[in-house]
Chains A and B, each alone.
Chain A
Amino acid sequence: MLEISELRKRFAGGPSAPGGKVALDGISFAVRPGEMFGFVGANGAGKTTTMRIVMGVLQADAGSVSWEGRPLDHDARQRFGYMPEERGLYQKMRVAEQIEYFGRLHGLSAQAAKKATDDLLERLGLTERRNDAVQALSLGNQQRVQLAVALVHDPQVLILDEPFSGLDPIAVDALVGALQERCRGGVPVIFSSHQLELVERLCDSVGIVSAGRMVAAGTVDALRSAEGDTLRVVVRDPAPGWADGLPGTVTVHGDRHTLLTTGGDDQEILRRAMKAGHVEHFGVQHPTLTEIFKEAVA
């Protein structure tokens, strides 16, 4: 289990912010083996800073990161896979050589690195481009190479900062497949994204950060029930003032009246609606992650 607890980080101030800027204000969360954890938050909320601290690229002012019960050190991190927010590859180096090189840096033997590279190139559909310089590839293919670099050493943990940004839908599916496969193999996966539908679809649990704090965390279902469901009733051509005294808000489109409410006796509301007119719709709406997110960071 990867445990992040009470991370704090303040960046030195510049001319615009002489007191410095608090990036992390005590972030804590944990990711279990085989769990896909979606990291959500506005720009500048602290997602990247958290990930960089986990990867040892940045030092936290306070707090700790532990893996399998022990403080995370350089040797353990060597078995992590990392995709930074700003992609970086040697532009003039060949694709296969580059992936192999990172495999070796992560401690693979020459043969193991070569084999892992061949497998990944095959899986990502890059076998034919293996001897091309990275700069000759399209952006989407460069992204695949970046992913291969993160995966080449068969990592025990995957930390991916905005892995889906800039990908076309087909590439997104390929990446999702690769991540789900690692997840099924027991690898905890943490990724950040602004594509909340995707996070909602993929992740077992979600953490919402705002201003350096974790404002909501848990499974998507748990977050939903905390938020509460919304009852939606559509009545056609009702008698005027039919909803007087009922909780919630009514919006009118032509002769259709829509009532949205999070409280009240649903059976009573149904009876009133049926008496007032023709009920076209009566149902409970789960909040989307986008709604939960907006609510949480508001």
Chain B
Amino acid sequence: MNGLMLVARREVSTQVRTRAFVIGLLVTAVLVAGLSFAPKIFGGGGDSYTLGTVNSQQLPLQAAAPEVGFEWRAFPDEAAAERAVLAGDVDAVLVNGAKVLTDGEIDAQLGVLMQSVNREFKLGAAGVAIPPLQMESVGADTRYEAARGAIATVLVLILFMLILGQVVMVAMGVVEEKGSRIVEILLASVRPWQLLGGKIVGLGILGLINLVTILVVGLGAAFASGLAADFPPGIPGLVAGVVLWFVLGYAFFATLAAASASLVSRQEEVNSVLTPLTMIIMATYFVAFYASNEPTGTLATVASYIPPFSSMIMPVRMAATEVPMWQVGLSMAAMLAAVVAVLAFGAKVYERAVLRTGARLKLGEVLRTRA
């Protein structure tokens, strides 16, 4: 265990000091923060209208549509109001409490709103009180659907990029040691599983540093920008789930990446030997992306139990909709079993292949022969 921790510590301390890691972390933090402020900056959070009055009272539109912004201006006469409408200064002007001036067809939402509020206003003035309709949903709670969908989409992207990035780092590290023959000296002092495990743990810690930075910056910025007001309940549970699923998914793919990389001796060969693995990660990403749009569909539900797809799809489902705890537990148990199986297999391939430098080895040949 001591050897494993030493190897892991070297991975962390050498990577953390590289410019690539520091810059990468900063860029990610800025991007995530920017994403959290974007809806504010690009005029999200509902529509807003500028309205005018000529010899009329302002309609109580705000009370009827609290999420929409209204700004009122008064004009001395109809001619002045017309000029303002044509200049695009105002969207609509209420004249004498009886007609509305617009430039072309009125905005549909604004038209309906003005009509109904005006009717209610006049009736109220005449002493007729109409109780507003009670709205009640008998289906699923859809209030947070948009927010959940957005969170899920962002989450898929983060998990995909982090897992792919760290997995490639593991593969490159394995080839660095194999190609330069350092592995011979290393294996004279530590066992293969310690070397393999240390590398996976070390680069996993770096991945977690990235993930936690993204989560902290993202949530912090969301609260600062007010975006968090639209967040569904249960965010802390979701965050914990994402971290856990990242660890499982990373452990699965990183072990396979290390085993694949141990078959080659040159950095140029890393890409081609990783191709099958990157295809699986891409496939997982696409299914997860699809699941973020349709989290209750059959594909999403089924795939969220199948390792390694579950490592990205289950957290997406958890973000996009309510998932019962037993389903999460079952999926996690399956993934955990897959990780253990992959670790046993990967360690065997790595141990047998990592000292056989030269031409690219075939997996079948490695499995047949002893070191």
Residues facing B in A66-80 (CB within 8 A) are 74, 77-78, 80
Minimum Cβ distance to chain B for residue A172 (Å) = 22
Q: Which of A78, A89, A102 contacts B180 (CB 8 A)?
A: A89
- Give the complex CA separation of A87 and B181 in angstroms: 7
B residues near A150, Cβ cutoff 8 Å: 185
B203 to chain A, nearest CB (A): 15
CB contact between A84 and one of B176, B184, B190, B370 (< 8 Å): that residue: B184
Q: How far is the CA of A101 from the CA of B185 in the complex (A)?
A: 12
Tell me the total A-B contact number using a CB cutoff of 8 A: 61
Closest to B180 in A: A88
Cβ-based interface call for B298 (8 A): no
- Given A12-B369, A93-B14, A104-B6: A55 touches B188 (CB 8 Å cut-off): yes
Stretch at the interface among A56-64, A124-132, A284-292: A56-64
Q: Check if B182 is an interface residue, CB within 8 A of chain A.
A: yes
Are A57 and B10 in contact, CB atoms less than 8 angstroms apart? no
CB of B189 within 8 Å of the partner chain:
yes
B239 sits at the interface (CB 8 A): no
- How far is A246 from B187 in the complex, measured between Cα atoms in Å? 60
B38 to chain A, nearest CB (A): 37
Inter-chain contact A57/B370, CB cutoff 8 Å? no
Interface positions of B from 1 to 58, Cβ below 8 Å from A: 3, 6-7, 10, 14
Q: How far is the CA of A58 from the CA of B7 in the complex (A)?
A: 22
- Whole-angstrom distance between the alpha carbons of A89 and B14 in the complex? 14
Query: Which chain B positions have C-beta within 8 A of A59?
Result: 370-371
Question: Which secondary structure dominates where chain A touches chain B?
Answer: loop
Cβ contact within 8 Å between B180 and A57? no
**Smallest CB gap from B181: residue in A:** A88
- Assembled-state Cα–Cα distance A57/B357 (Å): 12
Chain B, range 147-194, C-beta contacts under 8 Å to A: 176-177, 180-191
Contacting B at CB under 8 A, from A36-70, are 52, 55-59
**Docked complex Cα distance between A81 and B321 (Å):** 59
Known contacts: A77-B188, A105-B3, A106-B189. The answer to whether A58 contacts B181 by CB under 8 A is no
Looking across the interface, which residue of chain B has its beta carbon closest to that of A93? B14
Q: Report if A88-B182 is in contact (Cβ < 8 Å); known contacts: A12-B369, A57-B355, A59-B371.
A: yes
Answer whether residue A244 sits at the interface, using C-beta atoms and an 8 A cutoff: no
Contact of B355 among A58, A82, A93, A101 (CB under 8 A): A58
Q: Are B186 and A105 in contact (CB under 8 A)?
A: yes
Give chain A residues whose Cβ lies under 8 Å from the Cβ of B183: 88
Q: Please, which residues of chain A bring their CB within 8 A of the CB of B182?
A: 88-90
- Cα–Cα, bound, A104→B3 (Å): 8
Interface residues of A in 255-283 (CB under 8 A from B): none
Greatest chain B CB density within 10 A among A52, A78, A101 is at: A101
With A57-B187, A82-B188 known to touch, is A101 a contact of B371 (CB < 8 Å)? Answer: no
Q: Counting CB contacts under 8 A, is A195 at the interface? A: no
Tell me the minimal C-beta distance from A221 to chain B in angstroms.
33
- A86 interface residue per 8 A CB criterion: yes
> In the complex, which residue of chain B has the Cβ closest to the Cβ of A104?
B6
Residues on B with beta carbons closer than 8 Å to the beta carbon of A88: 177, 180-185
Contact B185 A149 (CB under 8 A): yes
Q: Does A21 contact B (CB under 8 A)?
A: no
Nearest-Cβ distance from residue A103 to partner chain B, whole angstroms: 10
Given contacts A12-B369, A56-B188, contact A101 B6 (CB under 8 A): yes
Residues on A with C-beta less than 8 A from B186 are 105
Q: Is A165 part of the binding interface, using a Cβ–Cβ cutoff of 8 Å?
A: no
Asked if A92 CB lies within 8 Å of chain B CBs, one says: yes
A92–B180 Cα gap in the complex (Å)? 12
A214 to B190, CA, bound (A): 30
A77 cross-chain contacts in B, Cβ below 8 A: 188-189
Contact A102 B369 (CB under 8 A): no
Instruction: Give the residues from 338 to 371 in chain B that come closer than 8 angstroms, CB to CB, to chain A.
Output: 355, 357, 369-371
The residues of B that contact A82 with a CB separation of less than 8 Å are 184-185, 188
Please determine whether A101 and B10 come into contact, CB atoms closer than 8 angstroms. Answer: yes
Other-chain residue from B14, B176, B177, B188 in contact with A80 (beta carbon distance below 8 A)? B188
Q: How far is the CA of A101 from the CA of B9 in the complex (A)?
A: 10
A52 and B184 form a contact (CB under 8 A): yes
State in angstroms the CA–CA spacing of A88 and B6 once bound together. 18
User: Do B191 and A74 touch across chains, with their CB atoms under 8 A apart?
Assistant: yes
Nearest chain B CB to A159 CB, angstrom units: 9
Top-4 shortest CB links A-B:
A88-B181, A88-B182, A86-B181, A84-B184
- Taking A88-B180, A89-B180, A89-B182 as known contacts, 4 extra A-B pairs with beta carbons closer than 8 A to each other, sorted by chain A number, are A84-B181, A86-B184, A88-B177, A88-B185
Q: Which residues of B contact A (CB under 8 A)?
A: 3, 6-7, 10, 14, 176-177, 180-191, 355, 357, 369-371
